[in-house]
Amino acid sequence: MPGQNLQIIPGSITYEYYANQDINYKNRCNPPLGLPMAPPFPVASVTTDLQNPSWIITNMPGICDLYKSNYLIIKFNAKILPQLHGTKTNSASIIDGINTLISPVNYSIDQVGVLGIFKEADTEIAENGQSFNYIITVSNNGSVPLDHLIITDMLPDCVSVNGQISIKDALATTIPYTTSGGLTININPTAQIFPGNDFTITIPVVKSGSGNCCNESVSVTAVMTTSGVELDANYGSPEAPAACVTGTECCDIDGFEATIQETNGSFNVSINGGSVPLQEVEISMVDYHIEYADEACKPDDLGAFGTLTTSTANLNTLILNTGDNGTSSLSWLLGNPSVINSSVNLDILYPDVLNLACCDVSFYFCLKVKVKDVNCNVCEKIICYSSDPDPEPCEIDIKPFSQGNKYCVGDTINLNWSGTTPSGQVNISLFDNTTNTVYAVLANGISNTGTYTYTIPSSIPCDPPRSWSLIVEDAEGLCLDRSDKFIIECCIPQCDCGEWLTNSISIKGYFKKIPRDPKEKITIPINFESKVECGNKIQLKPAMNYTFTAPNYVCNPENCAVVYHWEVVDAHGTILSGNGKTFNYSFNGYGQYQIIFTPICGGKRCAPCIIYVTIDKFTPLPDEP
């Protein structure tokens, strides 16, 4: 079954053998074969690949009667796994050592939307201050691509996000997103999850506090690309939380706190022991990780590392154990109990690093601070430190448009947003909600100023009206936000009369005949040329051929198209009229004429430009040179 998403159920395989039957039964769906018998020859199934099963049939007998046949029927159930909707063809083939026979059968996959989500932590135990990852898997278990994915994950108070969230598709390609609220993840609306595929979301967090920490539930919504129907799914509940981690530390001392801070390569551990005197204090290394910029930077021998040294010999009235410096644990056990609210200076031995400028190293460690008070109550706290700087925030929040949600061609949209991006730059694109695609990239790598003005071009599809959104995305694709949907209509403009930009009708004269259609090119030389201002007169000759061109006119607003209507009028009324900025005409009689160009804006006739033409009585034209 290559290229398909079917899977055989091995336990469902059965065999039926029918001997000496009518050969024509092979062309019937339910022939009257009678009672089956077990095959009297070996038949072995090979189901190591559940999507491509095969059978080995050994010594199946033939038959000499031309009108008879022996039949072996193999039946099994197959599970239809997620795959794209439509008509599929499943084929079975048989190879007898010489020939290969193939028999296909069609089946159809309906358009079904099935959305799934699952969440887990990548560790079971996490102490106070330790980092771990939540892993969310969003699955498309239907037969239609899904987009517009939104994940809602209300993180518990015992964790906080500690790094950059990562979203990968089935090909490990990074998917852009934005976040908001407790934790709402808006995946790039153009990103589609195809049937049978997953999106994997990794959320790095740090735990605060001891004991159990449970994330109760996570949910997701998505839209079927074929129908626009919204789907939803959730995982977890208060009774069965989606993901939990637990801690081994315990604390029976009220008010005890411990924190760590780095200062110029050394560390200070602040201890607030509460109101009861402490008789023992122990600080020990419990976890140490190191990461080199390149494997070549890692020396063969890392040397000794992670050991603790302190110059704090006396912690109030408690005394440091002799010989603890330079080990993985420091203890103040001797001396007299006292209330402690002070700090301990620590130097921590680092691993060896090759002395190369390009060999950077980052490290992460956790310390356990354990104390016992005079009442023999014990408290343990885990405190951690990482040399990695906090990731630069990447967040974009588009503000609602002030003009409303319907626009016309030629309108401007003032796009405003807030937030910072690590690159300091953004890309802006126009998203077509009808086709679920990016229609155009409007700006690429511009400064993240929080504002952009978009003028809707006349070339944009608008008939019928269409739904659009604007997307602002970090130039490196780390985060984005999409505006609310808005409608763009062609909007027949409300045109009004404007003004003449020029004030003269252009006239050209020809002795030879010219085309009647002014759109046809005139190739003969011009014998006469003049410009006459509106309202003025000119004397022309009969039997000569002329072209008249109107002055330029602009409607109000300027994007309204102007239509020119022309007329030739004599003492008895209109002789000829038409539309166009230029027309050709020959005067066949003498007398007074009017040439009238009337501009029309939005169907409204505006003030015309009129010139007056006098045609002399006919006189022969001079011979052409």
- The DSSP-derived string for 55-100 is EEE------S-TTEEEEEEEE--EEE-S--SEEEEEEEEEE-SS-E
For residues 455-484, give the mean pLDDT: 85
Q: What is the pLDDT of residues 555-614, one digit of tens each?
A: 988 888 899 999 999 878 878 899 999 999 888 788 889 999 999 998 899 999 999 999
Q: Is 346 exposed, middle or buried (0-12, 13-18, 19+ CB in 10 A)?
A: buried
Which single residue is written with the structure tokens 């995982």? 235
How confident is the model at residue 403, as a pLDDT? Answer: 53
For residues 489-506, give the mean pLDDT: 87
- Asked if 105 and 137 sit in the same domain, the reply is no
CB 165 within 8 A of CB 252: no
User: Which residue has better confidence, 122 or 522?
Assistant: 122
Nearest to 188 by CA among 226, 240, 149, 222: 149
Using the 8-state DSSP alphabet, how is residue 484 labeled? Answer: P
For residues 296-317, give the mean pLDDT: 81
**Confidence at 533, pLDDT banded by 50, 70, 90:** very high
For residues 281-309, give the mean pLDDT: 78
User: Which residue has better confidence, 328 or 287?
Assistant: 328
- Asked if 437 and 469 sit in the same domain, the reply is yes
- Asked if 348 and 451 sit in the same domain, the reply is no
Confirm whether 623 is domain-assigned.
no
Q: Which domain holds residue 217?
A: 115-245
**Confidence at 624, pLDDT banded by 50, 70, 90:** very low
Confirm whether 424 is domain-assigned.
yes
- Asked if 221 and 298 sit in the same domain, the reply is no
Element (H, E) at 569: strand 562-570
How confident is the model at residue 285, as a pLDDT? Answer: 87
How confident is the model at residue 520, as a pLDDT? Answer: 81
- Asked if 200 and 282 sit in the same domain, the reply is no
Confirm whether 391 is domain-assigned.
no
- Asked if 332 and 430 sit in the same domain, the reply is no
Confirm whether 273 is domain-assigned.
yes
Reading the block at residue 491, the tokens are: 């909007």
- Asked if 503 and 428 sit in the same domain, the reply is no
Reading the block at residue 105, the tokens are: 């059968």
Confirm whether 620 is domain-assigned.
no
Q: How far apart are CA 278 and CA 312, in angstroms?
A: 16
Q: How far apart are CA 324 and CA 322, in angstroms?
A: 6
Strand locations in 458-601 (E): 466-474, 480-482, 486-489, 496-500, 504-510, 528-533, 537-540, 545-549, 553-556, 562-570, 573-579, 582-586, 591-601
**Could you say which of 109, 126, 160 is where a domain stops?**
109
CB 240 within 8 A of CB 231: no
The residues that bridge with 268 in the sheet, in sequence order, are: 261, 345
Q: Where residue 350 sits, what CATH number does that domain have? A: 2.60.40
Q: What is the pLDDT of residues 58-69, one digit of tens each?
A: 999 988 888 899
Residue 297 main-chain phi, psi, to 5 deg: -80, -10
User: Which residue has better confidence, 90 or 48?
Assistant: 48
Reading the block at residue 422, the tokens are: 């690590």
CB 424 within 8 A of CB 447: yes
Q: Is 126 exposed, middle or buried (0-12, 13-18, 19+ CB in 10 A)?
A: buried
Nearest to 153 by CA among 190, 205, 188: 205
Confirm whether 565 is domain-assigned.
yes
For residues 345-362, give the mean pLDDT: 75
User: Peptide bond before 620: cis, by omega within 30 degrees of 0?
Assistant: no
**Confidence at 493, pLDDT banded by 50, 70, 90:** low
How confident is the model at residue 391, as a pLDDT? Answer: 65
- Asked if 121 and 102 sit in the same domain, the reply is no
- Say which residues have a Cβ less than 8 Å from residue 357's Cβ, sequence separation at least 6: none
Reading the block at residue 205, the tokens are: 């967090």
Nearest to 281 by CA among 235, 322, 320: 320
Length reported for the chain: 625
Confirm whether 392 is domain-assigned.
no
The residues that bridge with 291 in the sheet, in sequence order, are: 362
- Asked if 151 and 202 sit in the same domain, the reply is yes
- CA R_g for the chain: 43
For residues 11-27, give the mean pLDDT: 89
Confirm whether 477 is domain-assigned.
yes
- Say which residues have a Cβ less than 8 Å from residue 622's Cβ, sequence separation at least 6: none
With a cut of 50, say whether residue 2 has pLDDT above it: no
With a cut of 60, say whether residue 404 has pLDDT above it: no
Residue 449 backbone class (left: φ over 0; alpha: ψ -120 to 50; beta: rest): alpha
Helix (H, G, I), strand (E, B) or coil at 474: strand
Residue 358 main-chain phi, psi, to 5 deg: -85, -5
Which single residue is written with the structure tokens 């319907």? 406
At 424, which amino acid appears?
G
Q: How far apart are CA 483 and CA 471, in angstroms?
A: 6
pTM: 0.47
CB 591 within 8 A of CB 575: no
The residues that bridge with 593 in the sheet, in sequence order, are: 613
**Confidence at 516, pLDDT banded by 50, 70, 90:** confident
**Could you say which of 469, 489, 509 is where a domain stops?**
489
- Asked if 329 and 288 sit in the same domain, the reply is yes
- Asked if 332 and 413 sit in the same domain, the reply is no
CB 550 within 8 A of CB 609: yes
How confident is the model at residue 357, as a pLDDT? Answer: 66
Nearest to 574 by CA among 607, 604, 596: 596
For residues 409-414, give the mean pLDDT: 86
With a cut of 50, say whether residue 625 has pLDDT above it: no
User: Which residue has better confidence, 511 or 4?
Assistant: 511
Q: What is the pLDDT of residues 233-253, one digit of tens each?
A: 999 888 888 888 877 667 777
**Confidence at 199, pLDDT banded by 50, 70, 90:** very high
With a cut of 50, say whether residue 3 has pLDDT above it: no
With a cut of 70, say whether residue 303 has pLDDT above it: no
Number of domains into which the chain is organized: 5
